[in-house]
Amino acid sequence: MNKVEVAVIGGGPGGTDCAIRIAQRGKKVAIIEKKYFGGTCTNWGCIPTKAMMTSAHLYGNIISKGKRLGIKAQAEVDIKALMKHVKRSILSSRKGSEFLLNKYGVEIIKDEAIIKNGKFCLKNDDSEILADNIVLATGSAPKIPESLNVEGVWTSDDVFELEELPESLLIIGAGVIGVEMATIFSSLGTKVTLIEFMNRVVPFEDIDISQLLENEMRKKKIEIITGTSVNEIRKTDNGFNSSLSNNKSIESSHVLVAIGRKPVYPDGLEKIVKIEKGIETDNNFLTNEKNIYAIGDVRAKVMLAHVASAEGVFVAEKLSGKNSDYYRENWPGVIFSEPEISSTGVKETEKGLPDGLIKFVFPMAANGRANTLAEREGFAKIIAEKDTMIIKGASFIGPFVTDILMEIELAINEKLTVGEVLKSIHPHPTISEIVKDTLEGLEGTPLHI
């Protein structure tokens, strides 16, 4: 390859946005991707999951709420057509990434980066990657222990090759991936069992969020077993037999392991840069080598597409001589379960809130838009400093709450007070009004409860 100022290795959200921004700043940049642009997000994560979720949500609503809302209809799942919708969504996102890279003049190299004689090289071209700076953005892969790595057991990567719906599905892990997959398959008619090692589903979310979600999932006939692990999986004539740590076992036609992800990078990279759980970097995402940066999942910190993108843009601006920053103390998280979940900043745990903080919880049942949607389950919880009333965190559960989180993310980043946010009028009837109602509650003057 020709020498460039920056070589980005990996074409996921972090690598793609990094390369585009560097090109926008007038620098010569190449991006190296061995398979598909868009990374995990486009090909095996965010995009296909939400495409499946859209179909599952539509079908589930027709079945569960149609009669109540005055719609009489019969519905059935056409899994082949559903998966065509998923693949169209993937292809559209993938092509969009390549289009933008070409638009901004990024050199695209479809090859695999390897380590050879202590240097970064192209596997097929067998040439050295010549660049003043290298940005590692090679992403992550599903984590699966050897004891559970049985032929036919799924990871999240395998779901999107689905040709028929499983009759029954055991999902190991009730984090974001496990909960979303449980929501999808149970809505489509599969008998789902969800196993979680910790004592509650989505264990890193607010304690009250976990409890309400678990109740709602049980209403949808999802069997949930917490505080339990799977010791062994054995193939049977009808699928799988999974032995649990509580001395019980579960028979299922399919098993999905969703216990997290692990960073991936070229073999031998540990001889060049420092690696612990992931690639170690400083606050500027610089490794121990002065011209090698790492962003996104390979750092094994926050494995989210939007965080990888923010890190990529930060590094791009840095390498272009521009001032850049993004808020490092918290990051927004969303879960497309039913009901949806979104959160940012401080969360309440089993131990309650840290000293000096207060909260107010406003029920979704008192929101006008939620009532028109016939989706009354859920709430908003906002946390603020007692003395200053500066907003410190929020957790939402209910319809479309993934779309209202950014208001609080901005408030936290700008250190806004409850009163400062309340200066803005929230449109009616919208789910966003629950933010206003909760903030009014923090001030002791809730209008609608």
Is 111 in contact with 34 (CB distance < 8 Å)? Answer: yes
Please tell me whether residue 81 adopts helix, strand or coil conformation. helix
How many whole angstroms from its chain centre is CA 86?
Answer: 17
Among this protein's residues, is 426 annotated catalytic? Answer: no
State phi, psi for 226 to the nearest 5 degrees: -105, 170
User: What are the structure tokens assigned to 337, written together?
Assistant: 């379960």
- How far apart are alpha carbons 254 and 219 in whole angstroms? 22
User: What are the structure tokens assigned to 159, written together?
Assistant: 């779901």
User: What are the structure tokens assigned to 96, written together?
Assistant: 């969009």
Is 44 in contact with 157 (CB distance < 8 Å)? Answer: yes
User: What are the structure tokens assigned to 143, written together?
Assistant: 């984590």
User: What are the structure tokens assigned to 135, written together?
Assistant: 């940005």
- DSSP structure class, residue 273: S
Please tell me whether residue 115 adopts helix, strand or coil conformation. strand
DSSP of 250-310, one letter per residue? EEESEEEE-S-EEE---TTGGGTS-BSSSB---TTSB-SSTTEEE-GGGGSS---HHHHHH
- How far apart are alpha carbons 436 and 167 in whole angstroms? 44
Is 196 in contact with 384 (CB distance < 8 Å)? Answer: no
- How far apart are alpha carbons 288 and 295 in whole angstroms? 14
- How far apart are alpha carbons 22 and 326 in whole angstroms? 17
Q: How many CB atoms lie within 10 A of CB 236?
A: 10
Name the strand (E) or helix (H) holding 209.
helix 207-219
CA angle 267, 313, 318 (to 5 degrees): 90
Name the strand (E) or helix (H) holding 226.
strand 223-226
- How far apart are alpha carbons 360 and 380 in whole angstroms? 8
User: What are the structure tokens assigned to 133, written together?
Assistant: 């700076």
Active-site position among 254, 306, 428, 448 = 428
Q: How many CB atoms lie within 10 A of CB 445?
A: 9
**Which amino acids are annotated catalytic?**
428
